[in-house]
Amino acid sequence: MSTFLFEGIVFGPIKSRRLGNSLGINLLPEGKKICNFNCIYCECGWNSEENNNLQWPSIEAISNQLTDKIQELIRQETKVDTITFAGNGEPTMHPLFPEIIDTVIHIRNVLLPEAKIAVLSNATLIFKPNIQQALKKIELNILKLDSAIESTIRLLNQPTGYFNLRDTIEQLKTFGNHCIIQTMFVRGYYNHQAFDNTTPEELQAWLRVIKEINPAFVMIYTIARDTPAEQIYQVSAEELQKIAAMVEKEGIKVSISA
Q: Where are the domains positioned within the chain?
A: 10-183
Q: How many CB atoms lie within 10 A of CB 59?
A: 15
Per-residue pLDDT of the chain (258 residues; tens, 9 = 90+): 456 667 789 998 888 777 889 999 999 988 888 899 999 888 887 887 766 678 899 999 999 999 999 999 999 999 999 999 988 889 999 999 999 999 999 999 999 999 999 999 999 999 999 999 999 999 999 999 999 999 999 999 999 988 999 999 999 999 988 999 999 999 999 988 999 999 999 999 999 999 999 999 999 999 888 788 889 999 999 999 999 999 999 999 999 975
What's the CA gap between 193 and 185, in Å, rounded? 16
Question: In the prediction, which pLDDT does 228 show?
Answer: 82
Question: In the prediction, which pLDDT does 3 show?
Answer: 63
Question: In the prediction, which pLDDT does 223 show?
Answer: 87
Answer whether 198's CB lies under 8 Å from 246's CB: no
What's the CA gap between 179 and 143, in Å, rounded? 7
Query: Three-class SS of residue 159?
Result: coil
Listed residue (150, 151, 185, 188) closest to 169, CA to CA: 150
Query: Architecture of 10-183 per CATH?
Result: Alpha-Beta Barrel (3.20)
The amino acid at 177: N
Residue 106: burial class (beta carbons within 10 Å; 0-12, 13-18, 19+)? exposed
Question: Quick one: which H or E segment has residue 79?
Answer: none
Which phi and psi angles does 18 have, rounded to 5°?
A: -110, -25
Which phi and psi angles does 148 have, rounded to 5°?
A: -105, 10
Query: Three-class SS of residue 243?
Result: helix
Answer whether 59's CB lies under 8 Å from 99's CB: yes
Question: In the prediction, which pLDDT does 45 show?
Answer: 78
